[in-house]
Structure 1
Amino acid sequence: MRVLILNLRDVKNPNAGGAEIFTHEVAKRWSIAGNEVTLLTAGFEDAKKRENIDGVEVIRLGNTFSVYWLAKKYYKKHLEGKYGIVIDEYTYRPFITPEFVKEPIVFLVHELAREKYFYELPPPLSHICCYILEPKWLKNYVDVPTITVSNSTKQDLLEIGFKKIYIVPEGINFKPLDEIPEKEKEPTLLFIGLLKKANLADHAIEAFRFIKKELPTAKLWIVGRGAQFEKLKKAAKHLSVTFFGYVNEEKKLELMSKAHVILVPAVREGWGLVVTEANACGTPAIGYNVHGLRDSIRDKETGLLTENNPDALAEAIITFFKDEKLRQKLTENALEWSKSFSWDRTAKEFMKVIEGVINE
C-alpha cells in the first residue's frame, strides 16, 4: 500500500516531540512491512529538501507557516490519486485535506491545542485561534475517520461532533527493564521536554525551590533545548539544578533510570510519551491532572496527579519521597504497566484502522 502523511514536522525537526516520534515509529514499521510511505512536512534550518529516513520518504516544503498551502500545491501537481490512504496529522493547525484530497483520509489527532495557544501565541491571535479558528478547522473533519492516542482527546472530539474515533495506543522503542535499577543516592527529580512556555518547565523549578526546604539534598535534572533555556537557567540559579540540554537516546534512558521520579507539569498532552518511557526505566511520573496525563498516569497506581500549580506539585513530590511504601508501589507498578506498550502493536492497530477505512 502507498501511504501519504501530511504533518507539520518530521522526526529530525528540532521542535519534534512525542507526536513526531509516534508518526515515525509507525511509518518505518509500515515501510519494513512492504508499504511505501511518504511524508510531506515543513522544512527547517539546514534541512535537506528530500531524504529517506528509515525507509520513509520525507519531502520538506517551505516552513512552519507556508507548508500548509505548499503541501496542497505539491499534492495536486505530483501526488494526486497515487496513494491508497492519506493521513492528515493535526499539530496546532490541520491541512484541510477533505477539501482537496481524492483518496480516503484518516485524521490523526494527538491533542487539541486549545489553551496551548495562549502560551505559544500573543493576543489577540491566541484568542482567535483558540475560540474561532481551531473549532472552525476541526469542523471539516467531523465525518472523517479519526485516530487519537487517549480517551481524553477522544472525549474532546466527541464534544465537537466527531463520529468515527479510534484510539490507537502509544508505544516505546526499547524493552522495559526487567527490574528496578539502582537509583541516585540523593532524591533525584527529572524533567524532559522542549523548553518552551507550554511545557511549564518553570513550574518544575518553582516546585523544586519549595522541595529543597523539605529535602535539602534533592536535585533536579532538566533535559531539553528550546527558547526558554537561558531564562530557566537564570530562574534555577543557586538551586541544585543541572541542565543537560539536548541528549541522545542512550543518555536519556540512563538519566531516566537513575532518577527517582519524572515531573510532568503540562497545559495538556495527547498522552505524554515521556511518562511511558520513564515508566519502562523503572521511574514513575508525577504530573498535572490534565488531558492526556490522566490517561498515561494512573493516579496513585503508577504515579501521582496533582492540581495544576507548583505548590501542589511540590507537595506530591515531598509525599512521594517521605512515604517509602508509596514510592516502592508506584515504581514497581509503573515498570510493570510499561510492558504493555510497543510500537509494533501501535503500527498494527493503526494499519487495521486504515484497512477498515479503505474497505468501507
Structure 2
Amino acid sequence: MGRGPRCGSKPPLGCISVPRVLYRTTDIDVLFVNWRDVSHPEGGGSERYVQRIAEGLAAAGLRVTLFCAEHGRAPREETVNGVRIVRRGGRLSIYPRAMAFVRRHKPRLVVDVQNGIPFCSTLVTRSPVTTVVFHVHKEQWPIVFGRIGGRIGWWLESVVAPKVYRRVPYVTISDATGREMAGLGIAPERITLVPVGTEPIVDVPTPRSESPRLITLGRLVPHKQVEHSLKILARLSDRWPDLTLAVVGEGWWEDTLRAQAERLGVADRVEFLGFLDETGKHEQLAAAWVFVCPSIKEGWGMVVIEAGGHGVPTVGYHSSGGLQESVVDGVSGLLVDDLDQMTDAVARLLDDTDARRAMGEAAVRHAATFEWSASVREFAGVLARSVRESPRPGVREGAAELVARLEGIQHSTGDPAREPAARLEASVTGNAPFREPASSGLP
C-alpha cells in the first residue's frame, strides 16, 4: 500500500525514469492535427481559424506544426508564416496517419481538431491534448453518409469522442456549440469559448450592383442547403425580374444544384462561380445586396463577418447555431426559422433600402469587434492550463518553460515590439512577410 512499482532494468510506465523518455523535447512544441488546411479545395472558416491560431503561436517563437490531409493544390510539406504544414493521407486515411505522426514525433502539446470524427490523439500520446470543436454534426451525418453511415458517425461523435477526450480541455467558438457539447456529457467547466477573429477585409474597387443581387458562399455539399437560395431566387423572380444570385464555392453537389436551377427556371440568373481567390471573393461580396446563409449548421460563420465588412447584411437560420452570435438578429442581419421566413426576410431587405443600409452599417461595426490577437491570447491560455492541470507530474515538471511562454502570450501587454499577436496582425494585413496559402474563400 502506498508504494509505487519497483523499477528494474526494464521499468514499467509508472517509473520515474520513463517521463524523461516519453516527454523529451522534440522539434514540435504544438502540433495541430486537422482534417484539412486552408489550401484544401474544401477548406473554409474552421481551417482558417486553425491557421491563424497556429500562426499566432509561431509568431511567439513556438515551434508549430499542422498535420492534415494532402491534396493536389499544395505540396506535401511547406512552411507558411512560421507554421510547418505536413500533408499526408486522404479523406479517411488522414486519421491513422495522424495518430502515427503523433506517436512518432512526440510533440509537447497536441491540438486535436475534431470535425465530427475524432483523431483520438489521447490514445497515442501522454502529452497534454486540447480538443477543438467548431460545431456538433448531429443533423449533418445522415445527409452526408446516409441512414446507417450517419448513425455510425453520430455514435463516434456523441459517444466515442466524449469518452476518448474525457480528461482534456475543449475549445469551441460559440456558446451555441458549447451548449450542444454539454448535452453530450462534456463538463461545461472543461469548455472554453475562444472566439473567431476578423479576417482582413480586402479593399476592392467593386461597386454595389445596380440591380438586386444575392450571394451564397460555401462548399457545395448537401448540408449547406444552397437549394434554399435557389428557391428564394425563384420565388422572388416575379417581383424582381432582374434579381441574380452568385454562388461562390465548389463541391461534389454542384451538378445537383445546377439541375435544380434548371428545374426552377432560374439557371440564367444564377452564376456558379466556383473557387475564387481572396480578391475575387471580396469583389463578389462588395457587389451583393444580401448574403444568404441557409446552412443547416455553422460553428460560427466567419464569412458572415467578411460580408459584414462590406456592409452586406446576412439572412440565416436560428437553428444553425453559430449564426446566433455572428449575426446580431435584427441589427446586422436577420435570423429565421424556415424557408418561407427566409424568403420573406430577403424580400424585406431587397425592398427596404434604408433598412438594408442600416443593417449593413451595423454589420461593419460588428465585424470590427473581433480580433485575432485576442483569440490567440485566449487559446494560449487554454494550452497553458492543459499542462498545469495534467494528471502526470512528468508533464508538468518538464514543461515549465513552455507554460511560461504560453502565459506570456496570454498576458501580453500590447507592446508591438514584443507581443506576438501584434506580429500576427501585421502578417495577415500585409505589413510583414507572409506567403498567403491558397484559400477557397468558403465558410
TM range (shorter): over 0.9
8 Å contact 2:168–2:386 — kept in the other structure?
Answer: no
Q: Secondary structure at the match of 1:286?
A: strand
> What CA distance in whole angstroms lies between the structure 2 residues aligned with 1:252 and 1:51?
25
Aligned to 2:324: 294
> What CA distance in whole angstroms lies between the structure 1 residues aligned with 2:202 and 2:356?
19
Measured on the aligned residues, the alpha-carbon RMSD in Å equals 2.0
Aligned to 1:349: 378
Aligned to 1:196: 221
8 Å contact 1:88–1:107 — kept in the other structure?
Answer: yes
Superimposed CA distance per residue, residues 203-225 of structure 1 (whole angstroms, 9 cap, x where no aligned partner)? 11011100112222211111111
Letter in 1 for 2:287: K
Letter in 1 for 2:34: N
Residue 173 of structure 1 is aligned with which of 181, 199, 202?
A: 199
> What CA distance in whole angstroms lies between the structure 1 residues aligned with 2:39 and 2:73?
11
Q: Which runs of 5+ in 2 are unaligned?
A: 1-27, 390-443
1:172 CA drift (Å):
2.2
Aligned to 1:120: 144
1:347 CA drift (Å):
1.6
CA pair 138-273 structure 1, distance change in 2 beyond 3 A: same
> What CA distance in whole angstroms lies between the structure 1 residues aligned with 2:202 and 2:370?
9
Q: Secondary structure at the match of 1:51?
A: strand
Aligned to 1:336: 365
Aligned to 1:273: 302
Q: Secondary structure at the match of 1:28?
A: helix
> What CA distance in whole angstroms lies between the structure 1 residues aligned with 2:246 and 2:280?
12
1:105 CA drift (Å):
1.2
Aligned to 1:227: 252
> What CA distance in whole angstroms lies between the structure 2 residues aligned with 1:62 and 1:352?
31
Aligned to 2:270: 241
> What CA distance in whole angstroms lies between the structure 2 residues aligned with 1:233 and 1:247?
18
CA pair 62-253 structure 1, distance change in 2 beyond 3 A: same
State which structure, 1 or 2, has the greater radius of gyration over its C-alpha atoms: 2
> What CA distance in whole angstroms lies between the structure 2 residues aligned with 1:52 and 1:308?
44
Higher RCO (Cα < 8 Å, 6 or more apart): 2
1:209-220 equivalences under 5 Å are: 209-220=234-245
1:353 CA drift (Å):
1.8
8 Å contact 2:216–2:291 — kept in the other structure?
Answer: yes
1:176 CA drift (Å):
8.2
1:63-102 equivalences under 5 Å are: 63-76=90-103, 78-80=104-106, 82-83=107-108, 85-102=109-126
Aligned to 1:136: 159
Matched, 1:12 2:31: no
Q: Secondary structure at the match of 1:122?
A: helix
Q: Which runs of 5+ in 1 are unaligned?
A: none
Q: Secondary structure at the match of 1:270?
A: coil
Matched, 1:253 2:290: no
Letter in 2 for 1:170: V
Letter in 1 for 2:253: Q
> What CA distance in whole angstroms lies between the structure 2 residues aligned with 1:190 and 1:275?
11
1:45 CA drift (Å):
3.9
> What CA distance in whole angstroms lies between the structure 2 residues aligned with 1:255 and 1:323?
21
Q: Secondary structure at the match of 1:287?
A: strand
> What CA distance in whole angstroms lies between the structure 2 residues aligned with 1:9 and 1:134?
18
Aligned to 2:176: 152
1:345 CA drift (Å):
2.2
1:342 CA drift (Å):
2.3
Number of aligned residue pairs? 354
Superimposed CA distance per residue, residues 172-219 of structure 1 (whole angstroms, 9 cap, x where no aligned partner)? 221587xxx852111111011111111111111011100112222211
Letter in 1 for 2:251: G
Aligned to 2:79: 52
Q: Secondary structure at the match of 1:24?
A: helix
Higher strand share: 1
> What CA distance in whole angstroms lies between the structure 2 residues aligned with 1:304 and 1:226?
27
1:292 CA drift (Å):
1.0
Q: Which moved more, 1:211-220 or 1:256-265?
A: 211-220
Q: Which moved more, 1:66-75 or 1:2-11?
A: 66-75
> What CA distance in whole angstroms lies between the structure 1 residues aligned with 2:102 and 2:161?
21
1:269 CA drift (Å):
0.9
Letter in 1 for 2:216: F
Letter in 2 for 1:3: V
Identity %: 28
Superimposed CA distance per residue, residues 54-89 of structure 1 (whole angstroms, 9 cap, x where no aligned partner)? 22111222211122122212222x312x42x21000
